[in-house]
Amino acid sequence: MAYEQAFEQTEPNTTELKELPAGRLLESRGDGSYFESSGSLFGPLFRYIQKNDIAMTTPVEARMDPGAMYFWVSSTQEEKATSDTANVRVIDVPERTVASHGSRGSYSQNNFEKAKTILLDWVNNQSNIEAIGEPFGVYWNGPFTPWFLKTFEVQVEIRLKDTEATPIKRS
């Protein structure tokens, strides 16, 4: 099934800087870590988009601790996502500059941690950027995709120290 993409995917085994577009996201938060509560985070978001006839987009963003899941809303459907519910919050995010490491495999804490280590090592070796905030997951495939075909990214918002020397991919 084809979904609209909120931004371009970082290819597996690639680390890059890119701009994420401004957009409207739907947020579901939990009490535990993301990997303990991802199933309970998905349900409220899915019910919200079904009830409001909002098309599914990719990717799904995930904050790790405490766990939170975010669905992107297509810019053509933002008028359908205007009010919060008891379990879903509608938020607008500005354009963000991130460092992103693409990976392949199951959506597990172990795989997230491996990709996060690669990403943060790369960021720390760049003289013209610094990480701000905590790394987060970006998941591209649905639950029925075989684990060996799943792709994901770990991203961290960054601040440029010298904008002249850093090419940024615009998605």
Structure tokens at 61: 């963003």
For the whole prediction, is pTM greater than 0.75? yes
Q: Nearest-CA neighbor of 130 among 102, 95, 153, 163?
A: 163
pLDDT digits (tens, 9 = 90+) for 34-73: 998 877 999 999 999 999 999 989 999 999 999 999 999 9
Please check whether residue 128 is in contact with residue 58, taking contact to mean a CB–CB distance below 8 angstroms: no
Structural domains for the chain: 1-164 (3.20.80.10)
> Which residues in 143-161 are b (16+ Cβ under 10 Å) and which e?
eeeeeeebbbbbbbebeee
Residue ranges in the chain whose pLDDT is less than 50: 1, 170-171
Q: Which helix (H) or strand (E) holds 49?
A: helix 34-51
Structural tokens at position 148: 């060996």
